[in-house]
Each structure stands twice: as C-alpha cells, then as structure tokens.
Chains A and B, each alone.
Chain A
Amino acid sequence: SQKIEQNSEALNIQEGKTATLTCNYTNYSPAYLQWYRQDPGRGPVFLLLIRENEKEKRKERLKVTFDTTLKQSLFHITASQPADSATYLCALSNSNSGYALNFGKGTSLLVTP
C-alpha cells in the first residue's frame, strides 16, 4: 500500500538556521508533490508544488527538491524565523486519484529565538 513518511519527531532549530524536512514515499508514482503548512486548529495552507520532472523549486526562503529515484523530497526553510513554527505536510497526487492529495503525518517545526 502507499506510504508517505515524514520526520516522525519534531524538529527544533534556532532562529536564522536552515530547517530541512524530509518526505519519503513508497508504492506511489506521484505526478505532483506539494508542501503545506498547517497551524493548530486550521486548514493547510499551500506553499509549493513540484512536478515529477522537476528537480528543484524555490519561493522566497523556501526550497523544495524532488528525487523520484530516491522517492524523496526535501523541504528547506532558510533564515528560519519563530513565525515559521508550524506543522509542515507533504502531499502527493496523481491522475489516478483525480489529483486528490495523499498526505504524510506532518513534521512539527519549532524555531526558537
């Protein structure tokens, strides 16, 4: 069965450092991989989308890499700030599921001053 795994433990980093979150998947051929941010009691907020034929995508302080051979995506937040503290969700989709998103459990990031 499909499996999407993210860093199981919370990630604590110091303000200004780069946070790197991992998303690994098995038994899946995603056409797209997306990263979302979710704050407690709120719906997810879209951050970045990367296609299967793309290696890297950037948006301001965010960078996503996508390695379909390793079946892995890395999500980087550079110059992290306390406001970046949230849970970050990795989600995969393809046409087989009508582009419905399959989510990982998320990684909780805490950025301390």
Chain B
Amino acid sequence: GAVVSQHPSWVICKSGTSVKIECRSLDFQATTMFWYRQFPKQSLMLMATSNEGSKATYEQGVEKDKFLINHASLTLSTLTVTSAHPEDSSFYICSARDGREFPSEQYFGPGTRLTVT
C-alpha cells in the first residue's frame, strides 16, 4: 500500500515557540491531505483539510492563525503550531489521498507526538 511519512515522530518544545511537522506521501500524489489531532483515549479529530495549491479549510474551533498549514506540492504538507502552549500537547496525525481516484483510501502517517513544556 501507499506510504505516508511524518517528521519528526516526536518533539518537545518550550511554551511560546513554534513547531513544524512535515507530512509526505512517498509513492503517490496526494491531491488532498488531512490533519488530525488525537488526545489520549480519544478519537481522531479532524483539524483541517488541504488541497494542493489551495488554502486549507479548517474545522470549527481550530484557529487557522495558530495552526498554519501549507500544501505546496503533491507530496508535501506542513503543519506549523505557532506560539505553542501546553494544551497543544497532543498526537498529530496526517493522512493523504489521491483525489483523482474514486473512491480512494486515506493513508495515514505514523503520527507526531508533540509535548509543550
């Protein structure tokens, strides 16, 4: 199956700093990428949807100025958590699909564990 990678796999940062997480589709072109957040024992919650070359669409309650998403190419999307706070500590997971196929599966990355101290 298709492979999606994320980098870094875990990161610890100080409160007030920014952190960038990369999501790459390694062997297919991802016309759409999704960013999810998962707190312990909770479901994956969709944060935003990004289509290559377009601005991301954010879910209600997700601050677009705090969670900056860039999807500049068909294989790379980045999520930048700006001015991170301890409550932003979570497991961030991206997924990707090739929207030109229908229906198409979503392939998930391995996740990034963010801890803000």
Cβ contacts A15-42/B at 8 Å (1 or 0 each): 0000000000000000110101000011
Is B44 at the interface (CB under 8 A from chain A)? yes
For chain A, give the interface size range.
Answer: 20 to 34
Knowing A49-B103, A105-B43, say if A99 contacts B108 (CB, 8 Å).
no
Contact partner of B46 (CB less than 8 A), chosen from A34, A41, A46, A100, is A100
Whether A44 sits at the interface, judged by CB under 8 Å, is: yes
Q: How many inter-chain residue pairs (CB < 8 Å) link A and B?
A: 62
Q: Are B103 and A105 in contact (CB under 8 A)?
A: no
Contact B93 A43 (CB under 8 A): yes
Nearest B-chain residue to A106, judged by Cβ = B43
The answer to whether B44 and A89 have CB atoms under 8 Å apart is yes
14 A–B contacts, CB within 8 A, in A order? A4-B43, A41-B91, A41-B111, A44-B93, A44-B108, A46-B1, A46-B105, A51-B103, A97-B49, A98-B49, A98-B57, A99-B104, A101-B46, A105-B41
Residues of B whose CB lies within 8 Å of any CB of A are 1, 4, 6, 32, 34, 36, 41-46, 49, 57, 91, 93, 95, 97, 99, 103-111, 113
